Structure 1
Amino acid sequence: MRKWISFPWREGKISRQAHADFPEEGIYEREAGRSGFFGPTAHFHHKRPPTAWTSWEGPLRPRAFNLKNLELSTDSPWQAPLFLHNASCKMRYWHCPRSMDYLARNADGDDLFFVHAGDADLFTDYGCLRIGEGDYVVIPRGCMWRLEIHQPITMLMVEATNDSYQLPDKGLLGPQAIFDPAMLDVPAIDEKFLAQQDDGRSWKVLIKRLDAVSVVSYPHSPLDAIGWHGDLAVVRINWRHIRPLMSHRYHLPPSAHTTWVASRFVICTFVPRPIESDPGALKVPFYHNNDDFDEVIFYHAGNFFSRDNIGPQMITFHPSGFTHGPHPKAFAAGQQHTRKETDEVAVMVDTRDPLVVGEAAFAVEEKAYADSWKTKG
């Protein structure tokens, strides 16, 4: 058994509680924390922004990637560009312009899709499910699936390698908080699904295991179930059905927006919400250290209120080891309370283990991103 060292202490000029009522000469609050936002913390008040660096050298650095510039169309999802990965998590970005004439199956772990654009029928072992822009779709490990395209699909794919996706413990908030599990949709064994069983053609299944692909051929569609029952299934929910936690007096940490949980990483969803209105409350994300987690954010829609020059289909990557926080313009706007609500939609992946940048990501990197916190003299 282990226990964190605990000795609450105060030193110098401080605010009595975090993220609110800062001392006049120490408005730049920095949080140092362990275990993401779940462990012990210390809060520092600085005279100047902790991100006011003048230069940056070496491999550790904040990075941004423009996924719009990736070569996305591939023959299968297993060939989609792998832009960030570690032993527990693999992130791909895939464009599927036409219906799949094969089936895919991941034997390495659960897959989570976030559909950035498009519209398709998803055929699975469990039946048929219509998916489209803004949908999260969880595909259990070993489930066969394919897409029949209505409009070309572009999606973020996050694999929980050798793992599964589960829901966060909502504790005092109750099981219906953030989203009611009743909002999760599952595939249907409907006429459309039954019709594809008698197509009179052969099918191939592309099975990924240990990142190698094997091909299994059938003289018929292997999606030939006539029914199923149980509590394991493909599920879907749209970001519009997520009702975020809010506080008008306190800026909640990203962990309050956790949507999916795996053993070594979490996925959070930022959706439009009112900005804190209390005069003393912090109105932008606080400066904080990445001391235990790597942080990745995929920007889907809107204007991300703590970043400048970041748009849809971009990724920011803040590896563990340095302080980051709002850009200067965003911090100033928060001080002036110029915005009353956010309009952003973004997916955040926080991983407990260091991520490796894939070659495909380096090819579309915004190399000046580390300089974007500089103020113009």
Structure 2
Amino acid sequence: MYPLKKGKVPNQAHVGIPEGTFEEEHGRKGFFGKTAHLYHAHPPTGWIRFEGSLRPHKFDLNEAKPSDLTDPRGVPLPFLGNADVRLSVSRRPAPMPYYCRNADWDELWFVHRGQGTVETDFGPLPFERGDYLVIPRAVTYRMVPESTDNFFLLVESKGEFEQPEKGLIGQHALYDPGVIVVPEPAPQLDDNREWEVRILADGEYSSVFYPWNPIDVVGWKGDLTAWKINLRDIRPVMSHRAHLPPSVHTTFVTSGAVVCSFVPRPLEEDADALRVPFFHRNTDYDEFLFYHDGDFFSRDNIRAGMATLHPRGIHHGPHPKALANQRQKTHTDEYAVMLDGLNPIRVLEGGQAVEDPDYWRSWQG
């Protein structure tokens, strides 16, 4: 189907935008469905006030104080969530004194700061800054950090975290499956003291106790396991002639959400091509972004450890300074984790405590 064209428009999206206009992408199904590109005389984020609860959100997660920051038996602090996914912060400075088993959610841990090991049924997985750790539902594990300054972003999902379908670009695009790390069995058979396994089921914690270490698996086989991948092993899909949608940066898919990784890449060389994210209104998804490292060019007053949530129905896009200065950059040097949620993502009490209520004003220049 050839799209209709009316009025003052370019021939191609994100390229040769008419002078004095601001392009907005109005799409369905994230960036995979039908799309219209609207060319506004004013930036869609040029609002002067909001009424009601629907607005953009910004959180300084550096200020979050989960109970595991001061109590070894503490837990991560949830700050956003819905029925499909829940996002939390963990700041654990010491090893878990128990093993954990989550029977309610699959878990994806992103290591913002710190290093150490996660002990699992399948064996130990060492972790470092920039790692994604995939812990399938009901796997027994224990976080054992080696430093006291640790910061984890935890994404819990009602579905498994799967690799994306790569289609025409081939199985080695984005990341070669060969970079995935899986654990080797390391049974702790000489650890004959009482160990607790704390189990989360139906929203409640229960504990079962053993007179030996429950990490006693001497071998395993199959296609279900804990695994990890680091941001440095992600090779972004790029086009030197047109700005590509965030969907090309998909790292994981799960029920009700996709997780994308933004890593440094060259910007578009074509003189007519847009170099910053285009304005869009998130028609079918709420968009969460966690800022890990680097220069966050398209956002003002953002630093590592902060996060934003842009709900459906409200436009978002580059801040005015980034839009004006886009030709001065030749590459991005930022690292960020994005989650698009199919159902509305709610701000929980842990997020309300660290939210900047005036974030919506940041588009006013």
TM-score range, shorter chain: over 0.9
Equivalence for 1:308: 300
Deviations 1:281-320 (A, max 9, x none): 0000000011110000000001112100011110100011
Percentage identity across paired residues of the two chains: 48
Q: Equivalents in 1 of 2:168, 2:345: separation in Å? A: 33
Q: Equivalents in 2 of 1:19, 1:243: separation in Å? A: 23
Residues 91, 76 of structure 1: alpha-carbon distance in 2 compared, 3 angstrom cutoff: farther
| Structure 1 position 91 matched with structure 2 position 83 | no
DSSP 3-state at the match of 1:311: coil
Equivalence for 1:11: 6
Q: Equivalents in 1 of 2:60, 2:309: separation in Å? A: 11
How far the C-alpha of 1:25 sits from its partner, in A, is 2.9
Residues 169, 76 of structure 1: alpha-carbon distance in 2 compared, 3 angstrom cutoff: farther
How far the C-alpha of 1:197 sits from its partner, in A, is 2.9
How far the C-alpha of 1:9 sits from its partner, in A, is 1.1
Q: Equivalents in 2 of 1:177, 1:110: separation in Å? A: 25
Amino acid at match of 1:29: E
Amino acid at match of 2:60: N
Equivalence for 1:40: 34
Q: Equivalents in 1 of 2:145, 2:74: separation in Å? A: 18
Q: Equivalents in 2 of 1:358, 1:77: separation in Å? A: 22
| Structure 1 position 233 matched with structure 2 position 225 | yes
Equivalence for 1:158: 155
Q: Equivalents in 2 of 1:254, 1:211: separation in Å? A: 33
Please, which of 243, 248, 258 is the counterpart of residue 250 of structure 2?
A: 258
| Structure 1 position 72 matched with structure 2 position 66 | yes
DSSP 3-state at the match of 1:213: strand
Does the 8 A contact of 2:264 with 2:332 survive in 1? yes
Q: Equivalents in 1 of 2:247, 2:152: separation in Å? A: 23
Equivalence for 1:3: none
Amino acid at match of 2:332: T
Please, which of 324, 347, 359 is the counterpart of residue 349 of structure 2?
A: 359
Equivalence for 1:57: 51
Equivalence for 1:22: 17
Equivalence for 1:146: 142
Equivalence for 1:330: 322
Q: Equivalents in 2 of 1:314, 1:77: separation in Å? A: 26
Q: Equivalents in 2 of 1:78, 1:46: separation in Å? A: 50
Deviations 1:207-262 (A, max 9, x none): 11122111111111111011111111111110000000011101000001000001
Residues 79, 121 of structure 1: alpha-carbon distance in 2 compared, 3 angstrom cutoff: closer
Amino acid at match of 1:292: D
DSSP 3-state at the match of 1:197: coil
How far the C-alpha of 1:14 sits from its partner, in A, is 0.2
Q: Which runs of 5+ in 1 are unaligned?
A: 1-5
Does the 8 A contact of 1:111 with 1:160 survive in 2? yes
How far the C-alpha of 1:154 sits from its partner, in A, is 1.5
> What is the CA RMSD across the aligned residues, in angstroms?
1.3
Q: Equivalents in 1 of 2:73, 2:104: separation in Å? A: 14
Q: Equivalents in 2 of 1:356, 1:287: separation in Å? A: 23
Runs of 4+ in 1 over 2 A off after TM superposition: 75-79
How far the C-alpha of 1:24 sits from its partner, in A, is 1.5
DSSP 3-state at the match of 1:155: strand
